[in-house]
Structure 1
Amino acid sequence: MDWDKLRIFHAVADAGSLTHAGDVLHLSQSAVSRQVRALEEMLGTTLFHRHARGLILTEQGEMLFEATRSISRKLDTTAARIRDSEEHVFGELRVTTTVGFGTMWLVPRLAKLFARYPDLKIDLMLEERVLDLPMREADVAIRMKEPSQADLIRRRLLNIRMRLYASQTYLDQAGTPTELSDLSPHRLICQNPATPQVQSGAALVQTLLAQNIASTLLVNNYFGVLQGVLNHVGIGVLPDYLTVDFPHLVRVLPDVESGEVPVFLAFPEELRGSRRVAAFRDFVLEEIQQMRHLVAAE
């Protein structure tokens, strides 16, 4: 159906006059009349009864006017929301990141984001698989390596390392190792080197497992490793960003750590102007900056 003809019909029905509708639309009365007649011919019905006092909608005209009125209201609402979107962030944002970073760092902070933008809806996809952002499998990604896909805007958030941590309770019971060979009688909690993870983390785990460790707990994500450490099961391999939220973790063997792992935030070029993406990006950057201040203050 011709939207231009519907727009003109709506103006005529609303004004009740071809002349008044023409004034609103900046069209001549004859041009408005031609468009209305063309719409009536297309629909095969009469939309207006023509009287000396003006135009009165037929039953079919009333039905069409109800539809165009609903469309007009929705368009007005949408336009208002677009104008207000600089201040009002709303709608769904699909975010993907790893299970570890998502469960241990991102989710605990989201209450602050929702307090700032209560109409925001987040679909959080936690998996090690790298989703295709240009194909819109997700809107924003936080990953432990620089994205290689084309047409992405990317921002380096921070660098992390995998280190050894334990609870003080575990160390009081099992002793504190002072060198790598002292790990042998301890229980090591870590990811299996074959589990999808950052390469430097897997390399550190392989080095540790080569120490003839007496007992191990292998978990397929860092959240499970963290729970083991917090519950005094053993010494765990964990990312160093956890020390801000879990200050009671005790670092074991301070000279032992993985290589540096870069953390990137990325989103498609086409979402550069998205208020949802900008709000999420700025929030994450603020939280990273606050974390850095807390670490520097220790």
Structure 2
Amino acid sequence: MDWDKLRIFHAVADAGSLTHAGDTLHLSQSAVSRQIRALEESLNTTLFHRHARGLILTEQGELLFDATSAMSRRLDTAEARIRDSEEEVFGELRVTTTTGFGSLWLAPRLPALYKKYPDLKIDLMLEERVLDLPMREADVAIRMKEPSQADLIRRKLMSVHMRLYATPGYIAENGMPESLEQLSQHRLICQNVQATQVSAGAELVRELLTYDVRSTLTVNNYFGVLQATRSGLGIGVLPDYVVEDFPDIQRVLPEVESKEVPVFLAYPEELRQSRRISAFRDFVTEEIIAHRKKMRQESESGA
């Protein structure tokens, strides 16, 4: 159906008069009449009963008017939301990141984002597989390496190192290792070197295992490593950002850490103007700044 003809039909049905509808649409009565006749011919039905006092909808006309009224309401709502979108943030945002970062760092901070933007709907996809942003498998990604795909806007958020941690209870019971050689007397909790993970983490684990570690527990994500470490099962290989939110673990062998792991936020070029993307990007950036400040203060107080 011709949208323009439907618009004119709706105006006529609403006004009950060709003349009044023409005034609203800034069209002549004859032009409005021609459009209505053309619409009736295309539908092979009569939409109005013509009376001296005006027009009355036929049964078929009422059906069409119900439909155009619903369309009009939805268009009015969409228009208002589009205007308001310059100030408001709403709708679905598909975010992908790793299981570890998403569950240990991002998810605990999302209440602050929802408090600021209560109409936001986040679909958080936690997996090690790199989703294709240009193909819109996700809207925005936080990745542990710089994205190589073209047509992406990318921003480095922070750097992460894998380090060794244990609970005070575990240390009290099993002793604090003073050297890498003494790891052979402890249980190491880590990701399997064959599991999908950042290469720097796998390299550190390979190095640690050369010290004849007597017992290990391997988990396929850092959330599991953290839970086992907090349970006092052994010494865990974990990203350094966990220390801020989990003060019940402490660092072991402070001189041991992985190479730097860069953390990037990326999204498709075509979403540059998206208010949802901007709100999420700014939120994560602010949280990173607060995270760095807190880590720096704790480091200085412990020095």
Alpha-carbon offset, residue 29 of structure 1: 1.5
Alpha-carbon offset, residue 87 of structure 1: 2.8
Gaps of 5+ in 2: 299-303
> In the alignment, which residue of structure 1 is the partner of 2:252?
252
> In the alignment, which residue of structure 1 is the partner of 2:96?
96
> In the alignment, which residue of structure 1 is the partner of 2:166?
166
Is residue 135 of structure 2 the alignment partner of residue 135 of structure 1?
yes
Aligned positions of 1:1-298 closer than 5 A: 1-298=1-298
Structure 1 segments (4+ residues) deviating >3 Å: none
Superposed CA deviations along residues 7-53 of structure 1, whole A, max 9, x for unmatched, are 01111111111121112112121111111110011011111122222
Using the alignment, how far apart are the partners of 1:219 and 1:49 within structure 2? Answer: 75
Using the alignment, how far apart are the partners of 2:19 and 2:281 within structure 1? Answer: 52
Amino acid at match of 2:206: Q
What secondary structure is seen at the aligned counterpart in 2 of 1:292? helix
Using the alignment, how far apart are the partners of 1:231 and 1:189 within structure 2? Answer: 11
Using the alignment, how far apart are the partners of 1:198 and 1:122 within structure 2? Answer: 25
Alpha-carbon offset, residue 79 of structure 1: 0.9
Q: CA RMSD in A?
A: 1.1
Gaps of 5+ in 1: none
Q: Which moved more, 1:243-252 or 1:285-294?
A: 243-252
What secondary structure is seen at the aligned counterpart in 1 of 2:146? coil
Amino acid at match of 2:49: H
The question of whether the paired residues in 1 share the 8 Å contact of 2:230 and 2:248 is answered with no
- Scaled by the length of structure 2, the TM-score of the pair is 0.96
Using the alignment, how far apart are the partners of 1:6 and 1:83 within structure 2? Answer: 24
Number of matched pairs? 298
What secondary structure is seen at the aligned counterpart in 1 of 2:185? coil
Using the alignment, how far apart are the partners of 1:166 and 1:28 within structure 2? Answer: 82
Amino acid at match of 1:236: G
Using the alignment, how far apart are the partners of 2:186 and 2:35 within structure 1? Answer: 85
What secondary structure is seen at the aligned counterpart in 2 of 1:147? coil
Alpha-carbon offset, residue 273 of structure 1: 1.6
Using the alignment, how far apart are the partners of 2:18 and 2:132 within structure 1? Answer: 53
Superposed CA deviations along residues 223-279 of structure 1, whole A, max 9, x for unmatched, are 111011111111110001111112232111111110000001111111112222222
Amino acid at match of 1:213: V
Alpha-carbon offset, residue 73 of structure 1: 0.4
Using the alignment, how far apart are the partners of 2:163 and 2:273 within structure 1? Answer: 38
What secondary structure is seen at the aligned counterpart in 1 of 2:124? strand
Alpha-carbon offset, residue 103 of structure 1: 0.8
Using the alignment, how far apart are the partners of 1:192 and 1:296 within structure 2? Answer: 31
